Chain A
């Protein structure tokens, strides 16, 4: 009897500590999942990023706004290893990743949805998704997981299930964007890099996609770095934001603060000076 009681005490104790530990992680001990420290990236001779720093905590949605040519896409490409930075450091869960090749970075759990929905046009929707799980399929044990992920993506974007066998090139812009996001999710990323998901889409479609991203991030605890031109929509969804200008980070803060910031309002939210000062 004594033994049983001890056992029961132990179980309760274990459950409580485990729960406490988890709460602890989510509330107090938010670790920076991604840290970018002073990176400089060049295209040949031209410097695209100058001493850019950024950090992301687990489960956060962070947006990066800025004008055309500010270096937003370059920052994402530096992160995913397509255009490696020449100096500075990038840490993902305290592992330096600035010298890794793109496929190694994907393996660590960072997936990028490239700008302009680069789906594989001659592939069917299904094949596009399978390709997103390329690294998962290496092992036989990954097969079930891939199937499960595919179902997950189809549940997220039901329209894709209807278009399963259709060639990706024949999809509409919005559907292609959904496919590009779904494809990135097939790799079970811990960090999702989204590069202008609203580009060239109707406002309704953009809203729909943003809604799905937000729900998804909340439910799956996936961290998201969102690059956007549509600053208002992005800031409304995000927790924090960064503003990039001419390859330099000029501003950072909570999304709500940035929405109220006068410079941001004037430069990116389309309110002119008069309107701001009169209020």
Chain B
């Protein structure tokens, strides 16, 4: 019970911090960056459910992100449909696609799974790029309407910030609940040893497909949000490069940690902005940071933070001991 209480408190503090952040930020540019942090956090959580919990890699998650964005973008620009309804439709389509391809793909393991998902991502990228009459091709799709609820239109940074972050918190809550349930435990069991999990009565094959689907739905939802917030989408944002970036977010933040996903998303989104001071050297600094991080914090930032706090606590205890002896 206390463990549960602790988690609720942590989440509430996080939510309060996220929702009050704009009041302390005078710079509207920073708010824009934080909007993208929010969207990337949703994506990272989606991928983390699959990679960090179930232990199944996906190198094509940008495809689901793109699918959500394009379905929302195309349908709302061409037809007078309610954007929220389209959002649900987009999530459903991505989920259905993931469910169908999940059955053959998730039979594969390790590198082969990585290759298959990579292939899927590239196929979707080509589809976004080449179906010019539908998606607008490489030059992109513009004029996507803003979301609106009654008289409230989400057309400025302030409004969009709350739209994105309330969504992010909702997804976070969902993910935390999912991972704390018996399903979450079963997912981690599959990660650890699939055979042992199956012997425990876990239907590993179906469960993997299900979590792949949930992950795709979350990604598509983030895609829809992205399309309506930015109002312009182009295939370049949904390519292989972004899939890898997502993967990096999850790994840097910490596999199997929801708050780690936020940390990873925040760092990978904000770092390039802050590294502008290095001018052309920014990419080198960026790469160096990633290398150092994987060397010294292989468990991701969250485990790194835990390591540091444990170290400090141990130091304190030691000093107390010495005091007592003296």
Contacts and interface: CB of A to CB of B under 8 A. Distances in A.
A260 to B, nearest CB: 35
Given A103-B198, A130-B182, A120 B203 contact: no
B201 A135 contact: yes
A122 B188 contact: yes
B185 A106 contact: no
A137 B180 CA distance: 13
A137 B198 contact: no
Given A120-B188, A122-B192, A106 B182 contact: no
B18 to A, nearest CB: 29
Given A120-B189, A123-B188, A80 B201 contact: no
Interface size class of B (residues with CB under 8 A): 10 to 19
A102 interface: yes
Contacts of B186: 131, 134
Nearest to A183: B200
A253 to B, nearest CB: 30
B170 to A, nearest CB: 25
A72 B193 CA distance: 21
Contacts of B199: 80, 82, 102, 106, 111-112, 114, 118
B200 A106 contact: yes
Contact of B195 (A114, A122, A130, A183): A114
B192 A121 contact: yes
A82 B203 contact: no
Nearest to B190: A120
B195 A103 contact: no
Contacts of B189: 120, 123, 131
Contacts of B196: 114, 118-120
Interface in B218-257: none
A102 B193 contact: no
A59 interface: no
B166 interface: no
B202 interface: yes
A107 interface: yes
A58 interface: no
Interface string A169-201: 000000000000001000100000000000000
A106 B202 CA distance: 9
A121 B189 CA distance: 9
A82 B193 CA distance: 13
Contact of A130 (B185, B201, B202): B185
B201 A103 contact: yes
Contacts of A123: 185, 188-189, 192
A245 interface: no
A119 B199 CA distance: 11
A66 interface: no
B182 A102 contact: no
Interface string A13-39: 000000000000000000000000000
The CB with the most chain A CB atoms within 10 A, among B189, B195, B196, is that of B196
Contacts of B197: 131
Nearest to B256: A122
B51 to A, nearest CB: 15
A106 B195 contact: no
A8 B133 CA distance: 88
A250 interface: no
Given A130-B182, A134-B186, A137-B182, A120 B198 contact: no
B201 A107 contact: yes
Interface in A103-156: 103, 106-107, 111-112, 114, 118-123, 127, 130-132, 134-135, 137-138
A190 B166 CA distance: 49
Nearest to A120: B192
Contact of B201 (A82, A102, A119, A127): A102
Contacts of A106: 199-201
B203 A101 contact: yes
A152 to B, nearest CB: 17
B193 A120 contact: yes
A103 B200 CA distance: 7
Given A107-B201, A132-B200, A82 B195 contact: yes
Contacts of A103: 198, 201-203
B46 to A, nearest CB: 22
A186 to B, nearest CB: 9
Given A118-B193, A120-B189, A183-B200, 6 more contacts: A82-B195, A101-B203, A103-B202, A106-B200, A114-B196, A123-B188
16 contacts: A80-B199, A82-B195, A102-B201, A106-B199, A107-B201, A114-B195, A118-B196, A118-B199, A120-B192, A131-B182, A131-B186, A131-B197, A134-B182, A134-B186, A134-B201, A134-B202
Chain A to chain B: the 4 pairs with minimum beta-carbon distance, closest first: A106-B201, A118-B196, A135-B201, A102-B198
Interface of A: 80, 82, 101-103, 106-107, 111-112, 114, 118-123, 127, 130-132, 134-135, 137-138, 183, 187
